[in-house]
Structure formats: structure tokens, C-alpha cells
Chain A
Amino acid sequence: MTSLNVLVAVCLCYVVLLFGVAFAADRWASTSRSTWLRSPLVYTLSLSIYCTAWTFYGAVGYAARSGLEFVTIYLGPTLVMIGWWWGLRKLVRVGRSQRVTSVADLISSRYGKSNTLAVCVTILAVIGVTPYISLQLQSITLSFNIFAEADPGESYVEQSSAFWVAAGLAVFAILFGTRNLDTNERHHGVVIAIAIEAVVKLIALLAVGIFVVWGIAGGAVDTLARIDASAIGQWQVNHGRWATITFLAAAAFLCLPRMFQVMVVENDDERHLRTAAWAFPLYLFLMSLFVVPIAVVGLEILPEGSNPDLFVLTIPLGQGQEMLAMLSFLGGFSSATSMVIVAAMALSTMVSNHIVMPIWLSAKGGGASVSGDVRSVVMYARRVSIAVVLGLGYFYYRMSGGGAALASIGLIAFAGIAQILPAMVGGLFWRGATRTGALVGLTVGFVLWLFTLLLPGMGPEVLAPSVLEQGLFGLSWLRPQALFGIEGLDPMVHSVMWSMSLNAAAFCIVSLLSFPSPLERLQGAQFVNVFEHSAGPRGWTGSVAQSEDLMIMSQRIMGAREAQEFFQAEAAAQGSRAFLPEPTPVFLERLERELAGSVGAATAHAMIGQIVGGSSVSVEDLLAVADESAQLLEYSSRLEAKSAELGRTARKLRDANEKLTQISLQKDAFLSQISHELRTPMTSIRAFSEILRDTDGLERVDITRYAAIIHDEALRLTRLLDDLLDLSVLENGQVTLNLGQGMLADILDRAASTVLTGTPKPLRIRRNSGSEQVVLQTDLDRLTQVFINLISNAQKYCDAADPTLTVSVHDVGGRVVVDLLDNGSGVPADAQKMIFEKFARVGADKAGGAGLGLAICREIMQRLGGDITYLPGQGGGAFRVSLPLGLEIAAQ
């Protein structure tokens, strides 16, 4: 018989071994970058803290009582793991990118770093997990009991053993959970220890199972036959419970603080999930494979009335397998200790970060920069929290008397913790989820769970039987297990259905109705779109932040060396050689994340807020930012307008320049032309006058002919000089207008006859005499001159075989418009701009004009208050003369 002393000694040795491994792993993790500490296998095994003593021992009892229903506890997590691509991957990514330290921190961080929410989740977690911890204590004590009963020589006190177990676990958790205040909140030592315990409990359960199936039952086939013949030989489950517990287990798997700790916080590499996706379900599969055989064989061979929860221990003991019993005991011990340690660590993180630290900070008032060592405060808070949590567990165990009431607490705890699920899932996938919504949903779910499940489950001392039967305040629709008159449901199904549905409904409705704060919206976008952008929101405006204060504070939280390294790296990243970086928003944001790894998002936010002067994102800030950008927009649009204007001006200048260049060229051309023009008549005048002077005996006829030539050439010169003079006078505005009244038709008649009289080249002029009956008050001679010019141009330049000029007259907006359109090829496009300029001539070789005609016409028309333009695209040369009807002569 194994004596109790031997058992205790084995336990202690086992614990010492774990200590050693954990210590070595911590040392190893800090010195080398060994990869096996961070391997997917270790990650998978660490997830096995899901299997607590409740599942190690309790699953068999559960199976003995309710058949296959126990398996739902494992099916939920299996589905979650297999479906990691849906949600788990995102959860882990968010947890890593936001440096989330606990499930409360996740919720708080998502909903605008709200500490209220964090406190709520923490309280919920403490209430939900404490009974669970006492359940582990109970299981260890019970297993001690079994050995004590078998060893009557020892005096054994159950209560004190529970106390010592609790104390020992607290010491272990404190030693390894709070040894270092890592910014990543990872505990390699603890994780390795848990992985070893996971292997131990798996081997233990498998060993017992193999012993039962092949050692007692006589093989797999015989075992199945025995199962069919047993009391649980037929498929019988409560359908509601089957579905509900599967769901609950899945939800709890995600929301339990200890699961969150190992799954998200301790996760080193997202890719480990890929392995865990099949390896963890395999672990669960193996853990539950022999549960039913053990239960059936236990029911068969053990005496009536023995506790099925302890079949795993009592079967080997009953068969005299001391070593197997010892192994089995160690398996149960491992399950209990690993769960308690991680749960206590996770809870202590939550309590210290979300309850102790905020209180301490507000009590200090002056700010983290001037107070004592925050680091040690956090450490003490954690250590005390672990002790308190375990103390609570112990007292709950004492209070409940360790009876059967405790056994059902596992599922009740699951249902309580699952209340976090709507806020968590909503926060990860729905940007519209708000803080208020999460708060209301959590509260509704928590209250309903308390009222419908936890309190009724605690026995008549807590909730009077009258309330259970007649409802709260005697209202029958407020009966805890038949809410709103729905009776006949399993209490668990009833409670989960009401609490989860109303929780989710309240969460959604209030989220839809409320409006999130700016920080909430920023965080929401970060969480929901974590795969799109991992950059943080610009939460801080660091203008008033003091780098030195920040440094002092960070040293106290992160440790002097780490903080200095971090600050120096940041300064280097900013490209400065100084030791302290500028408090840019980017830096502040990174610092906040670093700090959040140690003390949680809400606290880190508050601490930086104290130093930076509370200049976190407020509506005012956002408005200011919006204002600023609006100003920038306005400024930029003004700039754009200016630049467009500049562009226009530049274009005009370019045009002008081009024109000037052309004019200059033309002037040069004209000068040579005019010299030529002047020179030709001069040459003939000189030649003929010399002939007249020097030649004797000229015929009379010849003299007359030569004199006529001289006269003609002199006239041509005069005309040229007249034109030049005319233009110069017109341009200088020195012209005197000789105003008179006349019909447009008469003017056109005069002009046409002047041009066409005695010309060899015929030009047909088509006119509409009806429309030409317009009385004009203008300088008639000048106007005639314009028309003469235009008509003679047409006559000279129209290159059609049968030149025709169409004159049409319109009245456009009180002005007379005369269009003169010929059927020639018109003015080439590149010349159109220039034809009204002085000296401009289209095709210099064509005719003998000096290029002044149209320039004079334009000057005249402008003097007369009208205008002359070229009409492009009319199928020929087309000029439009417009002039006022009345006396609107341009001012002189």
C-alpha cells in the first residue's frame, strides 16, 4: 500500500521537478533564442489547461451519470480549433498587435480603453473562476482522501490539506507568474511546466484507459459489449443540453481567462495555430477516448455507491495497481495545478491592471512620473492578487463544504464566462459595437446568469426556495428557472438561452442606438480590420508631453535598462542623436503599447494621459484636426486657383510673345517690302525723269507716256504714304469723325461700285436688299472705306473660278451685323490671327497691297463703336462687321 507520506513525497518531488524545469526554461528563454521553447507542440500542449481536474476526474463521473454527454465539453473547443481560420486567428493577431494582457484588457482596449468595462469583465471572471479553482482544490483533496482511506495508519485532515495545497499553488504561481514584468507578458517557464503537466495527464489517463480496456475488460470488442450491457448502454441525451453545452464549451474556450492567457497572450507565433488546429483536437480526442470504458468498468466492478468521479483512481487501486494509481494521481494533480496556476496568473493580471493600478494611480494623483516605483507596485499587486484569488477559492471550498454542489460548478462557471462572448465577437467583427452596448450586454448577461444559474445552484441558504418556486417578489414570471413562464427546460439550457440571447440582443440594440467616442471608433477600426492595417491610431498629440517625465515613468514600469534601450532605439529611429526622443504621436503611441504589455491598455493610456496632459483623442482634438485639414483644404484650393490663374497668365504671355515675335518679323518683312515698294516707283520715276532730262528729240507721244508713268508712280507713292498716315492718325486717336445719317444699302452700293468699276476681274456680289434697309448714324465715308476695303480684298484674293461675294445683314442684339462671305479658300488658319495687324499680308507675293487695309478697317470700326472680325469655318473668306445702330460712337 502506498502510504500517504510516500504520496506527499512524490507530489513534492514532482513539484520540485516542475520548478526546476520552469526555472531552467526561463533562464534558457532569456539567454538563448532556442526555438523548441516556442514550438507549436509546446503551444498545443499549453492549451491543454482546458482539461482541468474537473475533466480529468469528472469526465468519468459525468459519463457514468449521463452517458456520452460529457463529450460535448470537448466537442466545442474542437470545433473552435478546427475553425481557427474564422475567429481564433483574428483574436490572436489582435492580441499580439495590441499587446493585450488579458481578456479584460482585450475588451477594454477594443471599447476605447474603457476601464469600467475592464473592471466589469474582471469581476465577472473572478466570480466565475473562483468556484472553479475551489473545484480543483477539492479534486486534489479528494484524491488525497482516497489514498488516506487506503492507509488508515495516517492521521489526515482534509481541510488542512486543502489549505496547504492552495498555499503551495499560490507560491508556485507567484514565483513563476510574477517573476518578471515582461512587456510581452509571456512566461516561458510556466508554459513549459504546463506542457509537461499536459503530457503527464494524458499519459496517466491513457494508461488507466489501456489498463481498463485490455487489462480488465479483455479487449476493445469486449469493452464495447460491456458498454452496451451497462446502465448507460443506450444512447440517451437531452438534446437541448447536447447543443447548449457544445456551444458553452466553445464559448468558454475562447473567453476563459486562463485559456486566453495561453492561447493569445503566451502565443509566440501565429503560425502555431495551424498546428494546434489539429493537434489540440487530437489531444482532446485522446483524453476522452477511454472515458466511457473507464466509467462502465468502474460501475461494473466497484461496489455500489462509490464516487464515479474518482474511478480513475479507485479502479487501479482496487486492482492493486499501485504505480498506475500513483500515475493517475499525478495526472489529476497536474490537471488541477496547471489550471490553478494559469487561472490565478491571468486573474491576477486582470485584477492588478484593471482594479489595483487605477485605484493606486488616482490615489497618487500627482501622476506616475513623480510617484514611487510603479514596477514594484504592479508586482506586489499581482502577487497579492494571486494570493487573494487562491484564498477566495479556498474559502469558497470551505464554505460549500466540498460537497456535490461543487461538482456542478464547472458548467456554471462556463456559462458565466461565456457572457463575455458577445462583446468579444462583436468587438472583433463589428465596427459598430460600442462601449455602452458591451457594458449593457455584459450586465444583462451577468445578472441573468447570476439569477438563473449561479444563485439557484448554490443551495437554499443563498436563494430562498420560495423565490425558486414563486419567483422574485412573488412574480411568477420571475422564477429563476422558468423565466417569463417558460417551464420544463433544463436549468442549464434555460439559463444559457436567456442570458446569452438577451445579452447579445442588449449588446446589439444599445450599440445601434449609442454613439461611440472617437477613441472607440479608432480602436474598433484597428480591431476589425486588423489584417488590413496594423499601424496604430494617432492617439496622442505630444506637444506638451515631456520626454523626461515619460522616461522616468517608463523606467518604473518597464525597468530601467529596458526603458533606456527602448527610448534610445526610438530616438535613433527618429534620426536624432540625443538620448531622449521627441514626443511625437508615433513615439507616444508605441510607448503606450509597450506599457500596455505590462499594465494593460487602459492603465497605460491613463498613465501617459497624466503626463501628456490628457491630450488623448477627444472630440475637440478631432474637431481641431478636422478644422486644420479644412483650412489646409481651403489653402490648397486657393493655391490651386492661383496656380490656374498663373497658368492662364503664362499662356496669355506666351501668346503675346508669339504675336510680338510675329509682328516683329512682319515689321522686318514690311520694312524690306516698303523699301521695295517705295523703291520701285522711285526707280521708274528717276529713270523716266532722267530720260526726259537727258534725251533730246523725244517724240511728243513718248514724252507724254513717260510723264504719265512718272505721274502714276507718284500717285502710288502718295497712296502708300496716305495709308500710312491714315493708320497712324487712327491709331493715335486723332481722327475726326464726320457723322451723318445714311442707309446701309447705299453705303454698300457705293463701295461695290467703287471697287468694281473698271476692273478686269469680275466679282459677283449677292445681296439681299430687303435686309439692308437699315438707317445708320455714323461716319458714312469711313464705313464706306471699310466696305471698299473688304470687297476689294475679296476681289483681289478670292481664288474661286467664279468669285462670288455674299453680303448678308442681321440684327443681333441691337447691333447691325454685316457678314461678307466669299467662295474662295479663305484665310489660312495660322494667318487668321494676324490679318488685322499692321503690315500683315497673306502670301506676300499675291498682290500689291502694303498690308495696311485691314488694320485701318479695324481701327475705323473701333472708332465707330463697332468691330470687325474674321469668321472662321464658313467655307471661304468671311468677315463680320458689326456696328451700333445709333450714336454710340466710341469716346474720342
Chain B
Amino acid sequence: MTGGRERDPAQMQPPPVFLERQSYRRRRLMDAARLLPILGAALFAVPLLWPNAGEGGVRMSVAITYVFGVWAALILISAGFGIAARMVQPGDQAEAERKP
């Protein structure tokens, strides 16, 4: 049975160790995209460090500006990733899906 099953010859080849510059960029872009929600969670947790109402409390307008500012920044960065991903890999979906 060993080796009896037919295999796709492409599968048999070990993946290359070094990637082309474009593939390398693409993967790092994915890494960045993966890190974004962690960054977001951390930034949204920052208000937990603020003192509550009372002496030296944070004004609501500041809180709103901060939360919505972070939110908008996340959206912009995420949209940027979407556009960048589309530009870096025109139509090359298979490679991106195979392995991060």
C-alpha cells in the first residue's frame, strides 16, 4: 500500500522555504490583519483604566471622542487592508487560502 495511492504531483513537492517578495508581503499583510482585532480589543479596554465619575473624572465628550476615534481608526485600517490585499494579490485566491 505504501505509495500505492495516486497523489497530485504538486502536492508531493515540499513548499518552498523562501517566498517571492510579493507572497512574503501578502503574508505579512495577513499577519497585520490578524493582529488588528487584538489591537482593537486593547484600545477598547483602555477606558477601563479611567477613573469613574467624581473627582478627576473623564468628561463624556472626551470618552465619546476616544471611543469613536478608535473605532473609526480601526475601520479605516481594516478597509486599508482590504484594498491592499486586493492590490497585492490580483485574483490569486488559491495561494492565500492554502496556508497563512
Contacts and interface: CB of A to CB of B under 8 A. Distances in A.
Interface residues of A, number: 43
A68 B60 contact: yes
A98 interface: no
B5 to A, nearest CB: 11
A83 interface: yes
A712 interface: no
B64 A292 contact: yes
Interface string A633-657: 1001000000000000000000000
Interface string B41-67: 100110110101110011111111001
Contacts of A285: 68, 71-72, 75
Interface in A71-88: 71, 75, 78-83, 85-86
A784 B32 CA distance: 93
A80 B38 CA distance: 10
B47 A237 contact: yes
Interface stretch (A227-235, A557-565, A661-669, A808-816): A227-235
B55 to A, nearest CB: 11
Contact of B63 (A68, A230, A289): A68
B60 A277 contact: no
Nearest to B67: A71
A224 interface: yes
A81 B41 CA distance: 12
Most buried by B among A80, A230, A233: A233
A636 B4 CA distance: 10
A766 interface: no
B1 to A, nearest CB: 5
A71 B1 CA distance: 60
Nearest to B99: A531
A629 B1 contact: yes
B78 A281 contact: yes
B47 A242 contact: yes
Most buried by A among B34, B50, B82, B98: B82
Contacts of A83: 34, 36-38, 40
B88 interface: no
Nearest to B97: A531
A68 B67 contact: yes
A312 B1 CA distance: 71
A583 interface: no
A239 B48 contact: yes
Given A224-B61, A281-B71, A531-B98, A235 B79 contact: no
A590 B52 CA distance: 59
B52 to A, nearest CB: 5
Nearest to A247: B41
Contact of A79 (B33, B41, B48, B81): B41
Contacts of A282: 75, 79
A275 interface: yes
A242 B64 CA distance: 15
B85 to A, nearest CB: 7
Contacts of B74: 78, 82, 281
Contact of A67 (B38, B60, B86, B100): B60
Contacts of B60: 67-68, 227-228, 230, 232-235, 292
Contacts of A279: 79
A82 B77 CA distance: 9
B98 to A, nearest CB: 7
Contact of B58 (A80, A235, A278, A289): A235
Given A82-B40, A83-B37, A281 B75 contact: yes
Determine chain A's interface SS by DSSP, over half rule: helix
A275 B82 contact: yes
Given A235-B52, A289-B68, A82 B58 contact: no
A236 B40 contact: no
B36 to A, nearest CB: 5
Contacts of A230: 60
Interface in A523-546: 531
Contacts of B4: 636
A82 B59 contact: no
A227 B61 CA distance: 7
Nearest to B66: A235
A244 to B, nearest CB: 12
A686 interface: no
A636 B1 contact: yes
Interface in A242-288: 242-243, 246, 271, 274-275, 277-279, 281-282, 285
A347 B78 CA distance: 33
Given A278-B78, A282-B75, A243 B45 contact: yes
A232 B63 CA distance: 11
A277 B63 contact: no
Interface string B3-15: 0100000000000
Nearest to B63: A235
A85 B30 CA distance: 8
A80 B82 CA distance: 15
A629 B38 CA distance: 48
Contacts of A278: 75-76, 78-79, 81-82
Contact of A274 (B36, B61, B68, B82): B82
A246 B46 CA distance: 13
Given A78-B74, A232-B60, A633 B1 contact: yes
B53 to A, nearest CB: 4
A83 B57 CA distance: 32
Nearest to B32: A85
Most buried by A among B37, B38, B53: B37
Contacts of B41: 79, 246
Nearest to A531: B97
A22 B88 CA distance: 37
Contacts of A71: 67
A278 B60 CA distance: 26
B70 to A, nearest CB: 9
A497 interface: no
A79 B37 contact: yes
B53 A234 contact: yes
A82 B37 contact: yes
Given A78-B71, A278-B75, A233 B59 contact: yes
Nearest to A68: B63
A632 interface: yes
Nearest to B65: A224
Nearest to A279: B79
B73 to A, nearest CB: 11
B18 to A, nearest CB: 22
A234 B57 contact: yes
A277 B78 contact: yes
A817 B16 CA distance: 61
B34 A68 contact: no
A67 B52 CA distance: 12
Most buried by A among B47, B63, B64, B76: B64
A700 B57 CA distance: 154
A232 B1 CA distance: 73
Nearest to A630: B1
Nearest to A285: B71
B100 to A, nearest CB: 8
18 contacts: A78-B40, A79-B41, A81-B78, A82-B36, A82-B37, A82-B74, A230-B60, A235-B60, A236-B53, A237-B47, A274-B82, A277-B81, A278-B76, A278-B79, A278-B82, A281-B74, A285-B68, A531-B99
Given A82-B36, A82-B74, A86-B34, 12 more contacts: A78-B74, A83-B37, A228-B60, A228-B61, A232-B60, A233-B59, A234-B59, A239-B48, A246-B41, A282-B75, A285-B75, A633-B1
The 3 closest A-B pairs by CB, nearest first: A83-B37, A278-B79, A235-B58
Interface of B: 1, 4, 30, 33-34, 36-38, 40-41, 44-45, 47-48, 50, 52-54, 57-64, 67-68, 71-72, 74-76, 78-79, 81-82, 85-86, 93, 97-100
Interface of A: 67-68, 71, 75, 78-83, 85-86, 224-225, 227-228, 230, 232-237, 239, 242-243, 246, 271, 274-275, 277-279, 281-282, 285, 289, 292, 531, 629, 632-633, 636
